[in-house]
Amino acid sequence: MNVVRGYKTELDLNHVQRTLLLKHAGAARFAYNWGLDRKIAAYDAGEKVPTAIDLHRELNALKQTELAWMYEVSKCAPQEALRDLDRAYANFFRKVKAKKTGKYKGKLGFPKFKKRSKAIGSFRLTGSIKVFSDAVQLPRLGGLRLKERGYLPVSAKMLSATVSEQAGRWYVSVQVEETIPDPVAPTGSPIGVDLGIKTLATCSDGTTFANPRAIKHAHKRLRRLERQKSRRTKGGKNRAKIRKILAKTHGDCRQSLLSLLKNLLRLWMDQRGIDARGARVCVSDVRIGRRPRSERGYQSEK
């Protein structure tokens, strides 16, 4: 069976590669904002709204005069950003039309300008993409080392690669087309996993996993950083520094929890003799903050 699947893993970069990725993300963000401004201006003037192809032609003409710095990055970064803008713009008017007929009741969501203060962003590359066991080769970026070796498929057909940043960490997500065997029906009994506060997870057979001490220490550090951020002036440089440290701590805590939960569930299923691909695992997705105080581990107030 042929499927299109995505694989995401973290990159192991040096300073030169980080700078190059920042340039690509900035070029994609600039192209998106520039294209959105051109679309809004054309719509307000009653003219034909330019498509992604029209905007890309105009952008190529500006590269020779005003935007010569865009030659330092791959042409795919701004080109794919304009395609994303075209898709977002079309989806907005599609939702407007559906809402008038009563087929859509959600928010319309007109495309917004991207800010670097919110996030560095991401960019997508196409073309010659090669994957190795410990590295990935992208256009204009060369070989980028991977922190997790042997995870990305080497023999699959590469469609695109998206590079993104989150709390100081850089990730690459490759979209591939590969052939996988037909899915096998679940053979084992269903497994229920309930995520909580007092305990990391509680399984359907009564097995519980306690929170590690490292997570408790990380939560204490998060509370301390939140207090420090609240004392800083809004818009100041010191508040921005604390915010970056806070985001990195949140990311480290999240990665630790996900890795720990994955390893514990794998160990627990191996002990029970259940095939991970054959058994059906159901994990609760209820937000803990919306539960009653008694279920979140609080004692009843007298």
Model pLDDT, residue 208: 81
- Which tens digit of pLDDT belongs to each residue from 216-247? 788 889 999 999 999 999 889 999 899 889 98
Q: What is the mean pLDDT of residues 48-65?
A: 93
Among 206, 219, 204, 188, CA closest to 284: 204
Model pLDDT, residue 229: 92
Could you tell me if 297 and 196 are in contact, meaning their C-beta atoms sit under 8 angstroms apart? yes
162 has a pLDDT exceeding 70: yes
Could you tell me if 114 and 31 are in contact, meaning their C-beta atoms sit under 8 angstroms apart? no
Model pLDDT, residue 57: 94
186 has a pLDDT exceeding 80: no
Model pLDDT, residue 299: 43
174 has a pLDDT exceeding 90: yes
Could you tell me if 14 and 144 are in contact, meaning their C-beta atoms sit under 8 angstroms apart? no
192 has a pLDDT exceeding 90: no
Report the C-alpha dihedral over residues 109, 111, 116, 117, rounded to 10 degrees: -30
CA–CA distance from 212 to each of 114, 231, 234, 297 (Å)? 38, 30, 34, 17
135 has a pLDDT exceeding 70: yes
- Which tens digit of pLDDT belongs to each residue from 77-90? 999 999 999 999 99
Model pLDDT, residue 302: 39
Of 61-75, 117-131, 156-170, 193-207, least confident by mean pLDDT is 193-207
Average pLDDT, the chain: 86
Among 21, 3, 212, 17, CA closest to 123: 21
For residues 51 and 65, what is the distance between their CA atoms, to the nearest angstrom?
A: 22
301 has a pLDDT exceeding 50: no
Domain coordinates in residue numbering, the chain: 14-100, 126-179, 191-290
Model pLDDT, residue 137: 95
Model pLDDT, residue 275: 58
Q: Could you give phi then psi for residue 102, rounded to 5 degrees?
A: 85, 10
